[in-house]
Amino acid sequence: MTERIESAYRLASDRYRELGVDTAEAMARLEEVAVSMHCWQGDDVGGFENAGSLTDGGLMATGNYPGKARTAEELRKDLEKAYSLIPGRHRVNLHAIYAETGGKKVDRNELTIEHFAGWVDWAKSLGLGMDFNPTYFAHPKAKSGFTLSSADDGIRKFWVEHGIACRKIGAEIGKRLGKPCVTNVWIPDGSKDVPIDRKTPRSLLAKSLDAIFAEKLDRKNNLDSVESKLFGIGSESYVVGSHEFYVGYAVKNGTMLTLDTGHFHPTEKVSDKISAVLLFLDEVQLHVSRGVRWDSDHVVIMCDELSSIAEEIVRGGFMDRVHIGLDYFDASINRIAAWVIGMRCMLRSMLTALLEPTEMLRKAERDGDFTARLALLEEVKALPASAVWDYYCLSHDAPVGESWLREVKTYEKEVFSNR
């Protein structure tokens, strides 16, 4: 098999060379892409706290596939399995509800790095980077549907303290791992039915965020980001932290912006937003998801929008300003497979974009030859990127093609069946 992959690669490489594309260079650039893999796919956004229901916050994982991770050890083991089936060095994205408190109840405003030391040591031993998220849902103090924008001073104060605690944790994670941690704020706040006052919660949210971000932290360790949403379960009519709110907030305050591909109107595309917001912001984070009809958090696949996102990142020269992360939760299929499919698709779409004969396409556009632009774009889709991808997997100790699935099935038999 190795020989077949190598000879297919050589043929592909020759074909790309004819178009002025260097496949070795594309693969070298792909090595630089560290995708943040979201731990919450492994346990349906459960965490280890048992403080409240996930739907208090408008998130819902559907399905009951066996084998869900129940402890940090199980989750790390599953994550390790997934990373072993994905080429390259990546990152892990953690939520505050994944704290390890040794059985003690520690409320969210009291969390410290100590509760994540197990995760940091583990990430270090695997050479992973790490990102972090305060958890503003699945908690009694989120039950009303309002957290940082709550009209109740006590509730708001609690969640501001949680935000501050999490930024400190993020900074310490970044320091210990020697690469910055993106600490991302997403809140579920909003209302099911038409509100009278849309203004007050937004001004309270801005005030709460100002309090959370008041302390300047070294960007070497921690990068703050804010994530908008269009609607959620229970916040169909009004979301406090809308896109306009956070674009404004991020531009004014110099934070990063998180663009989740499920958080816009279905015909609105994140791929089109990247070059716009990066004119005014230093960096953005992506939560790559796949909405089906709505923000349904399906597993990422090779769809047109994924290709467009990858193309925009590469064509724009944005690889070092766009932090790519995944965000979905599917409990109806093997959860490790869900990670592996999404990660491999994300990377394969990046490789395909890196292999694009962009100069040729740009020239057609510059010359006003839109016939050629369209014709070439369609021909490019048929280039042998998959042969380069197979070779990339082979040369990075990752399974080629569908062979990773066998390993997941074996793991399922040996590990999941005992849970």
Catalytic residues: 186, 227, 229, 260, 263, 287, 295, 297, 327
Minimum Å distance from CB 325 to ligand RNT? 9
Count of residues touching Zn ion (by CB under 5 A): 3
Alpha carbons 24 and 353: distance in angstroms, whole number: 14
- Nearer residue to Zn ion within complex by CB, 38 or 115: 38
**Using the rule CB under 6 A, is 40 a contact of ligand RNT?**
yes
Question: How does strand 91-95 pair with strand 129-133?
Answer: parallel
Strand, helix or coil for residue 139: coil
Cα 86 versus chain centre, distance: 16
Q: Which stretch binds Zn ion (CB under 5 A): 84-92, 260-268, 276-284, 405-413?
A: 260-268
Which of Zn ion, ligand RNT, none does 352 bind, CB closer than 5 to 8 A by kind? none
Residue nearest to ligand RNT (CB): 186
The SS3 assignment for 284 reads strand
Q: How far apart are CA 156 and CA 285, in angstroms?
A: 26
227 lies in the binding site for ligand RNT (CB under 6 A) = yes
Residues near 348 by Cβ (< 8 Å), separated by ≥ 6? 302, 385, 386, 389
Of residues 283-312, those binding ligand RNT (CB under 6 A): 287
Write the binding mask 358 to 397 for ligand RNT: x where contact by CB under 6 A, - elsewhere.
----------------------------------------
Give the count of alpha carbons within 13 A of 206, CB side only: 15
Stretch that binds Zn ion, among 13-21, 124-132, 193-201, 285-293 (CB under 5 A): 285-293
Which residue number, 92 or 387, has a Cβ lying nearer to ligand RNT? 92
| Residue 330 is a binding residue for Zn ion (CB under 5 A) | no
The token duo for 373 is 């632009």
Chain position carrying tokens 């990752």: 398
H/E element, 405: helix 403-414
Q: Beta strands of 10-66 (E only): which ranges?
A: 36-38
Residue 74 one-letter amino acid: E
State which residue, 295 or 412, has the beta carbon closest to Zn ion: 295
- List the one residue from 49, 78, 224, 327 that touches Zn ion (CB under 5 A): 327
Query: What are 383's two structure tokens?
Result: 């280039």
Q: Which residue's structure tokens are 């395909």?
A: 352
Nearer to Zn ion, 139 or 287 (CB): 287
Residues that bind Zn ion (CB under 5 A): 260, 287, 327
Residues that bind ligand RNT (CB under 6 A): 40, 45, 59, 95, 133, 186, 227, 229, 260, 287, 327
